[in-house]
Amino acid sequence: MRPLASLLRQQRLWLVLALAAIVALAWAYVWQGVGMGMPASDMTAALLFPHRAAETPGSMVVAWPLLLSMWWMMMVAMMAPAALPLLLLYRRAVLHHAPCGSVAAISLAGLLLGYLASWGAFAVLATVAQGLLQPAGLLSGAMWWSRSRVFSAALLIVAGVYQWTPLKNRCLNHCRDPVRFLVDSRAGPGFAAALRLGLRHGAYCVGCCGPLMALLFVGGVMNLLWMAALCVLVLFEKLLPQGPRVARGLGVALVSWGMATLLV
pLDDT of the residue at 48: 55
CA–CA separation, 70 vs 30, rounded Å?
7
Residues of the chain above pLDDT 70, percent: 82
CA–CA separation, 73 vs 244, rounded Å?
27
Q: What are phi and psi of 53, to 5 degrees?
A: -70, 135
- Select from 3, 179, 205 the least CA-distant residue to 92: 179
Enclosing domain of residue 137: 2-52+60-263
Distances (CA, A) of 141 to 17, 50, 163, 212: 38, 15, 30, 22
pLDDT tens string 16-35: 899 999 999 999 998 887 76
pLDDT of the residue at 15: 87
pLDDT of the residue at 51: 40
- Contact criterion met (CB below 8 Å) for 81 and 23: yes
pLDDT at 47 > cutoff 60: no
- Contact criterion met (CB below 8 Å) for 244 and 171: no
Distances (CA, A) of 136 to 80, 133, 139, 215: 32, 5, 8, 18
- Domains identified in the chain, total number: 1
pLDDT at 230 > cutoff 90: yes
The pTM is what? 0.86
pLDDT of the residue at 183: 84
pLDDT of the residue at 186: 77
pLDDT of the residue at 127: 94
pLDDT of the residue at 138: 84
**Strand pairing partners for 139?**
146
| Burial state string for 41-69 with b = 16 or more CB within 10 A and e = fewer than 16 | eebbebbeeeeeeeeebeebebeeeebbb
pLDDT tens string 89-145: 888 888 777 666 677 889 899 999 999 999 999 999 999 999 888 888 888 766 677
CA–CA separation, 246 vs 234, rounded Å?
10
Q: What's the mean pLDDT in 199-205?
A: 96
